[in-house]
A = this chain, B = another copy of it.
Amino acid sequence: MTKNIPVPSLKRLPNYYHIVCQALESGEKFISSATIARILDIDDTQVRKDIAATGYVGKPKVGFDTKEFKEHLEDFLGFNKTKEAFLVGAGNLGIALAKYDGFRKYGLEILAVFDNDPHKIGIKIGKKEVFPISKLHDLVKRMKVQVAILTVPSEFAQDVTYFLIESGIKAIWNFAPVNLKVPEDVLVRNQDLAANFVVFSTLLSEKRRSPDTLI
């Protein structure tokens, strides 16, 4: 088995992807690690190490082929593989995410939205119908969905999580600012936007640049 890419490297890859996309749009055939490094204000050796960790090889003297490298990153990061998910909680944020177009480019597809509010059930968010949460169990089984995006209010997050797990969900992208209790085999990724802002704002008040540009 090939060695797993280090998490810090993995987190920088989407940045490289953005840069290589922009370079490609400007008609640049090749891009050097030094150029990428300058844009992100990091070390160029690190860029090369990260790229090497994805298995892509550049051309000495010229750099990395933008088109090839872009496609390699899409492959490595799985943009072409559809990742199906259910979204639970049709509040403001939930609706925004359900409508958000940018996910498709990365291969994330929200199949359906769930909520408990009778007023919301049956309405369409973009092309997605809102179902009652009671239907989630069946639909998880039927559609074999493993991932849930959790956008319910904090106070319901843990109870809904128990229900998601009972229904067979194996991974939760959690937007509620709470620590969810889950069994060993369930993966949670927290996405506390407010907390992210707090980190940003603390660095700001200390006049420090965050070393990790993204995520």
A window 86-119: CB within 8 A of B = 92-93, 95-97, 99-100, 102-103, 105-108
Within 8 A of B (CB), among A46-68: none
**Smallest Cβ-Cβ distance to A179: which chain B residue:** B18
- For residue A4, CB closer than 8 A to chain B, the reply is yes
Q: How far is the CB of A170 from chain B (nearest CB, A)?
A: 8
Which residues of chain A from 164 to 193 have any CB-CB distance to chain B below 8 Å in the complex? Answer: 171, 173, 177-179, 187-193
List, in ascending order, chain B residues with CB within 8 A of A199's CB. 7, 10-11, 14, 215
Residue in B4, B173, B177, B178 whose beta carbon sits within 8 Å of that of A197 in the complex: B173
Q: Which of A1-60 contact B (CB under 8 A)?
A: 4, 7, 10-11, 14-15, 17-19, 22, 39-40
In the assembled complex, the Cα of A22 lies from the Cα of B157 at a distance in Å of 13
Q: Is A143 an interface residue (CB 8 A)?
A: no
Q: A39-B179, A171-B204 are in contact. Are A14 and B96 (CB under 8 A)?
A: no
Measured between C-beta atoms, what is the minimum distance from A105 to chain B in Å? Answer: 7
Q: Are A194 and B77 in contact, CB atoms less than 8 angstroms apart?
A: no
Which residues of chain B are near A103, meaning CB under 8 Å?
193-194, 197
- List of B residues within 8 angstroms of A4 by Cβ: 206, 208
